[in-house]
Structure 1
């Protein structure tokens, strides 16, 4: 094992995480995924599901006095974001054979092998996903303001090599998140994400991902069209759609799967329907294995 993926997961995203695991296995069968379970329900369900190549880590293995103190002062989103770089460093410390560790959000879904991302930029110590906002219905002034508040990058997918630049950058990110990780957009800071803007100015070999088809989501799908070609999903230039970031989904019931960022749109890309159909199957599978578990969101869960 020279490369691994990591995710931080709570019960409200468990259905999406299982969809993520299945999608990654379909395109990279041997991909190891280290999963930090933020609650006991998440750990118990995933243990019962016996996901191939998924290593489960309980919070008790990670939490120390400093984290437990922060846990008392930060909401659930803030605490999940806080522990992301801590968890990446934890995995690297326990697996010195790793040459790369990549963080993936639970609401990603892979359609093609992501190893092309790393193969295309082998000299980069850190790989960041641009979060450029492209929403046709927004005025330029609105977009510029959002970009300043949310940052230039999206923290749902970022990768660190275990060279000195990569580990130094990861340690710096961890220290910043421990200092402050607020669930409130602000210029230069937003959760764990705003700090990504500063990495390239502080560390060498920090690169924007240049491979197309990476981390497309509600903030930028307006610049793309999707179609099937030879049995795979491709972009307008024929490049494969490697993964889509289905941010903003709330699963209220098996029959009520909502996209809270696009409530007034009726023309979402067809990949959303594919994803919703997969989530419904996942919910059925989890219910069959763990009938008492409910990972459904509440009606007012719009964070």
Structure 2
């Protein structure tokens, strides 16, 4: 059994539903623990009653130490602050043998068990940013990405989690300061600070906008494959970091240049699924437009022809991606 935890609020519900759908399709045996970061998110997820999923409210999760620092952090900074605490909560509350934290905007194309198998007797699994050289921000945001991290319920791993939680409670902000950045730069020295740490070697785990320029992605039947440094791998997961809806008619894919084939093969199907989930959520709550930002009117969006909208980053017309969106 693979145990995953993630956190998001109502604004990220469609992303979270995409994540769950990918696990249902590709993970053979899993349980997902979702920390609902507002009341609307908890209400909707409870109503959906997703398979293999436990929904955890903030009232059940937050302790005195987290509540004490909450007023000093932005919404995003508080989510970062809570990351190690969510993993600890799951392991302790549910008596788990292992728990993998995953960002809500990643999508699996293969069983994540293939990645976790690398760990062996190690207790902690980290994933590299693996930056494309021109986007390298290791000095700012760190060598490792929090996106996918595994901890076993064993002494060294638990010691690392408690240390990380304490560090994030002390300082976790969206700025670079004294060699720190958010919850992430704390991981830079873990290979020497702690024992039994394994860095994921399979480059098919952790493909993201900041490194996908180094890959060739292609379909082979119903599966997707990634070629990296001349070697082919079954694509495991992609991180859709930065994907945001800007208006009824356009969206921003990310802040990096993306090969057209990546947009077609990965972003197209992902956005189509997002829109299907949005439409389903809209049926559950007619007030959806009030709490899902920059998406007002998507449920009645007309499939008219739009010209490519050039602007900052990767701005595209939404209808470019809605071929699979049901009427």
Q: What is the TM-score when the length of structure 2 is the normalising length?
A: 0.83
CA deviation after TM superposition for structure 1 residue 211, in Å:
2.0
Q: Give the distance between the partners of 2:192 and 2:158, measured in 1 at CA.
A: 16
Contact 1:3 1:99 in 2 (8 A): no
Contact 2:207 2:239 in 1 (8 A): yes
Q: Give the distance between the partners of 2:151 and 2:91, measured in 1 at CA.
A: 10
User: What's the counterpart of residue 38 of structure 1?
Assistant: 37
Give the total of aligned pairs: 290
SS in 2 for 1:195: helix
User: What's the counterpart of residue 282 of structure 1?
Assistant: 277
User: What's the counterpart of residue 249 of structure 1?
Assistant: 243
Per-residue CA distance 1:234-255 (angstroms, 9 max, x = gap): 0123311100000001134565
User: Does 2:267 correspond to 1:272?
Assistant: yes
Per-residue CA distance 1:216-242 (angstroms, 9 max, x = gap): 111100110100113200012331110
User: Does 2:140 correspond to 1:117?
Assistant: no
Contact 2:106 2:239 in 1 (8 A): yes
Would you identify which runs of 4 or more consecutive aligned residues in structure 1 move more than 6 Å?
Answer: none
Contact 2:132 2:212 in 1 (8 A): yes
Alignment of 1:213-228 (within 5 A): 213-228=204-219
Q: Give the distance between the partners of 2:197 and 2:242, measured in 1 at CA.
A: 28
Q: Give the distance between the partners of 1:254 and 1:19, measured in 2 at CA.
A: 20
User: What's the counterpart of residue 127 of structure 1?
Assistant: 125
Q: CA RMSD in A?
A: 2.0
CA deviation after TM superposition for structure 1 residue 86, in Å:
0.8
Alignment of 1:140-179 (within 5 A): 143=136, 146-179=137-170
Q: Give the distance between the partners of 1:289 and 1:255, measured in 2 at CA.
A: 23
Q: Give the distance between the partners of 2:55 and 2:249, measured in 1 at CA.
A: 29
Contact 2:2 2:113 in 1 (8 A): no
Aligned counterpart for 2:234 among listed residues 237, 240, 257: 240
Q: Give the distance between the partners of 2:222 and 2:152, measured in 1 at CA.
A: 33
Contact 2:213 2:259 in 1 (8 A): no
Per-residue CA distance 1:61-114 (angstroms, 9 max, x = gap): 122222112111100011001111111111111122x22100000000010000
Q: Larger strand proportion, structure 1 or 2?
A: 2
Q: Give the distance between the partners of 1:225 and 1:66, measured in 2 at CA.
A: 45
CA deviation after TM superposition for structure 1 residue 132, in Å:
2.4
CA deviation after TM superposition for structure 1 residue 272, in Å:
1.2
Aligned counterpart for 1:296 among listed residues 286, 289, 292: 292
CA deviation after TM superposition for structure 1 residue 287, in Å:
1.2
1:287–1:254 distance in 2 versus 1, CA, 3 Å:
farther
Q: Give the distance between the partners of 2:261 and 2:184, measured in 1 at CA.
A: 25
Question: Structure 2 unaligned runs (5+)?
Answer: 296-312, 314-327
SS in 2 for 1:235: strand
Question: Structure 1 unaligned runs (5+)?
Answer: none
Contact 2:209 2:254 in 1 (8 A): no
Contact 2:213 2:258 in 1 (8 A): no
